[in-house]
Amino acid sequence: MIARKLTDKEEIGEIVDLLKDSGLPHLDIPGEDVSVYGFYEDNELVASGAIEYADDFILLRSLAVADPHKNKGLGTKVVEYLEDLVTESGCRYYYIITEIPEYFKKMGFKVIQRQDCPEPIQQTAEFTTFCPEDATVMKKTL
């Protein structure tokens, strides 16, 4: 699987389609605070993931794996890839807002209360608008 940071409109359009198909927020992509990554096998888009920068804090988002490629470990690899970027940036923890906390618990994320989230994360569109109120906020310390 090859990872690429995307800036090309057409390639980002493909990611937006994958996010739509996966029922994930897409209206703020592309956005200046969001770095979007496409993951490819034989030039086919198989997964996506993104990092949103909110002041000094980082939100992992837009994790999606295309249907034919699910349950082959790709989602886990995408999280590992993005996590390496977080580490390189000097951050020692990061956040995710999700409806499938069980999946992320296996990768070491811990549930936190919404109100315990740093203010800049609380101000992201994912937090205020796109993710339902009952979505779970999780934090991973690296």
What minimum distance in Å lies between the beta carbon of 31 and ligand COA? 17
- Helix H or strand E segment including 79: helix 74-88
Residue of closest CB approach to ligand COA? 75
* The pair of three-digit structure tokens given for residue 101, joined into one six-digit string: 């906390």
User: How far is it, in rounded angstroms, from Cα 61 to Cα 50?
Assistant: 5
**Residue 126 CB, nearest distance to ligand COA (Å)?**
9
State which residue, 6 or 61, has the beta carbon closest to ligand COA: 61
> What is the C-alpha to C-alpha distance for residues 61 and 15, in angstroms, rounded to an integer?
12
- Considering beta carbons, is residue 13 or 73 the nearer one to ligand COA? 73
Closest distance of CB 130 from ligand COA, Å: 11
**Residue 21 CB, nearest distance to ligand COA (Å)?**
9
Question: How many CB atoms are closer than 10 A to CB 88?
Answer: 8
Nearer to ligand COA, 102 or 119 (CB): 102
Q: Are the beta carbons of 48 and 62 closer than 8 angstroms?
A: yes
Residue closer to ligand COA by CB (options 40, 103) is: 103
Give CA–CA dist 58/36, Å, rounded. Answer: 13
Residues that bind ligand COA (CB under 6 A): 22, 24, 63-65, 70-76, 96, 98, 100, 102-103
